[in-house]
Amino acid sequence: MAALRSSLESSLGALIKSTDTKRARELKKHTGNSPLPALDAVALHKSISALWSKSGGNESVTAEPSSSKSKDVLRSVLDMVGRDTALRPVITGDLAEPLEDASDAVKAHFQTQLQDRLDMVLTLYEVAYASVPDAPALEPGAVFIPLLEEFTELLSVATWHELFGYVETRAPRFTKNMPASRGKALPLLRTINAFQRFLSHTPQDLKLRGRVQLFASSAIGIADKSAINMRGEYAVITTTWEEQVDEGDVQMEDADGTKPLDFYSTLWSLQKYFAHPPSLDGPAIGEPAQTPFDQFRAKSDFVLSRLYEQTKREKVLLGKNPDRATRKRTRESEDLSYPRYLTAKNLLDYELADQQFRRQVLVQYFILFQFLLNLTPASANKQQFTGGMPKTFIIDGDKQTWITQTIQAVRDELRNMSPDGPRFEETLVQLMQRERRYAQWKNEGCPESEWEVAPLDPDMGPNTAEKWKRQCRPMRRWPYKLGTAGLTRVWENGYKGMNDFTKTTGTAKTVFELEEELSRIEMDEEDDKAMGREPPAEYAEQKKTIRWSAIREARRTHPRVVAQMKDYDLHKLVEAIREVDEKEARYRDRAHGDAAAEEAETEAEARAEHEAEQEAAKADAEEEETGEAEGVNGDATAHPSPETNGDATVDGEDVNMEDGIAAVSEQPTPAAEATPAEGDVEAPADGEAAPEGEDAAVTEAPSAVETPVELPTENTVGTEPHSPEEDLGEAE
């Protein structure tokens, strides 16, 4: 066996050297920190098989075929060859692990060389097992998984972010036919637990933790009890929060001897209940006597009220524009990294202002309360595993009521947190429901029948393939070149108005037409039943289509009728529509009659007003004629004399000029009241020169007095002519 080991190591060394030279040339053209694609599996298997035969592996196995000791020795040889090939170069520095700040080329070179060596070792194990298939100790996974376990403690987390992809892609080869809870499953479990132990809970490592969990669920059966925490053991988490009291500080107490609760110490003291629920059980101690659960309840009420108050204060600060903080938090969330929360007292205010911190505490409450509700009198007797809680610890009465109310308050608080409170609360509830179902399955003894999947129907495969063929057929060409029927029609026919976009290609049937179709189908069904025949099946589909189309059309024309319908019976719908139409018709007729009567009354009033205007105009004309006859009768002339101081003698009588002016002013002047006819020239306004020539209008003064007399405005010569409407108004 020593000769076999040395021969295998020398042959593998030569193969590695030639492979590294070839891969180095490929790496010069490679970019990024990811490794090169894996070596060709067929060519590598052929090379390793030739190497195995050349080194005398087959002869060493067949020398003592019935000896189990020889197989164990062969496994030891293969294990040492694998460690010398892949593990020792990393330890000695021949294949040095790059630092975190190394270049991408260095990281890619390391990952490529390490994965090539692991591929060679795994292929060697497969070739060796193929020569001795009846030796479970030589199974590839049984030898290869312990080698991977060594790398978990040797390589850094940054290297495993890239190297774990190798484990995921090669897992089908070394986990094939893996038994449950024994054999190679045990070192694989240790490897997975090692990952969970040294990976942090920061967002940088959260993705890798998830990949490890998915790998574990795919490699290990879900009913495998070796991967289940059947005893309900708790993780050991130490939270250091107590601060030493400086010398000289005086501890103040209330008058009754009880210390007031301090939020900082109370908040962090809750972690012992979250991490170890059995801490809730115990006798009543202190003054006044309180059980551990009573203390937990008092502390929880105090802490939760402060957390709720912080959320309310945050909403008030955000005001009516919470999106502002939401956008900022969304931009910064990708760059922030949340380590395990620190417990320094001066950081408490900042941690309370962080929604993630408050959510962390509320989620811990949610998990603990779900566990405690399994200890109610109705559920405690069914629990085989109580998670370390004594059988005497029962949640009943006031305890159960308080837990139920607090859970609801916690859910409301999670829902009120912006920006994604409702979605976060819904996701958390779904996770808790799955955890509750998983705990119930463990309590029932992990029956494998729960996870058995019924075999598929043999006809399902061809039917599914046929459906996929129809789905994969080329899509028919869209009938509208410009996307919609309206745009295409307007483009082809030309734009005439906005109504072009609302035109439809067809005319929809009215509700009454659809009812007639439904009645015909129902009559056909009755005829078929009367003849003893079964109505065709398509009648039912046609009636559904007609009802749907009728309701759709009625919703467009009579939406209020459809909204008032409780049972969408088409015949009742038509009756209701007809009643509404009849009411509207009667209302329109009544409104039309009222409008006609009002119009006739308006015409009569207008006719009466017109006749009154004509009578008034006629009276004004007669009055004007009478005034003209009196004012110009006999062409009277007044001659002023110095002795009479402006008095005139008319027909042998002395007349005072002021009395004459008053008499004249009382008589209407035709020139001031009549509208000038077409072609006439208006009298000049004040300050304007009188027109000259033949066309100049001659305005007769009411008297022959040459002395200018200031007359009233309405009778002054040269005033603007009045319109007939104004004359009519003055006459009235």
The reported pLDDT for the residue numbered 109 is 94
User: Any idea how long the chain is?
Assistant: 732
Sign of CA dihedral 477, 480, 483, 485: negative
| C-alpha neighbours within 13 Å on the C-beta side of residue 536 | 8
**157 three-class SS:** helix
Longest dimension (CA), the chain: 182
Q: How far apart are CA 683 and CA 258, in angstroms?
A: 113
Written as one string, the DSSP assignment of 183-229 is TTHHHHHHHHHHHHHHS-SSHHHHHHHHHHHHHHHHHS-TT-GGGS-
Q: List Cβ neighbours of 278 (8 Å cut-off, separation of 6 or more).
A: 387, 388, 389, 390
* Token pair recorded at residue 264: 């900082």
- What's the pTM? 0.49
| C-alpha neighbours within 13 Å on the C-beta side of residue 14 | 9
Low-confidence ranges of the chain (pLDDT < 70): 1, 57-68, 181, 226-227, 236-260, 319-340, 384-387, 499-507, 628-732
The reported pLDDT for the residue numbered 258 is 53
Tell me if 144 sits within 8 A of 119, measured CB to CB: no
**25 three-class SS:** helix
Q: How far apart are CA 551 and CA 558, in angstroms?
A: 10
From the CB of residue 574, how many other CB atoms can be counted at a distance below 10 Å? 21
* Token pair recorded at residue 511: 């509700």
- According to DSSP, the residues that pair with 654 across neighbouring strands are 649
Q: Where are the alpha helices (DSSP H) in 531-569?
A: 538-557, 559-564
Measure Cα distances from 536 to 392, 515, 523, 540, 541 in Å: 69, 20, 13, 8, 10
DSSP-assigned letter for residue 715? G
Q: Write the pLDDT tens digit of every residue in 127-172.
A: 988 888 778 888 898 999 999 999 998 999 999 999 999 999 999 9
Q: For the chain, which residues make up each domain, given as ranges? A: 2-227, 263-447, 497-629, 643-672+712-732
Tell me if 428 sits within 8 A of 414, measured CB to CB: yes
Tell me if 120 sits within 8 A of 9, measured CB to CB: no
CA 313 to chain centre: 25
The reported pLDDT for the residue numbered 502 is 62
The reported pLDDT for the residue numbered 111 is 94
Q: Write the pLDDT tens digit of every residue in 252-288.
A: 444 444 556 788 889 989 988 998 888 898 888 888 8
The reported pLDDT for the residue numbered 24 is 92
Q: Are strands 648-650 and 653-655 parallel, antiparallel or unpaired?
A: antiparallel
The reported pLDDT for the residue numbered 449 is 75
Q: How far apart are CA 557 and CA 566, in angstroms?
A: 18
- For residue 501, which amino acid is it? F
> What dihedral angle (degrees, nearest 10) is formed by the CA atoms of 322, 325, 327, 333?
-140
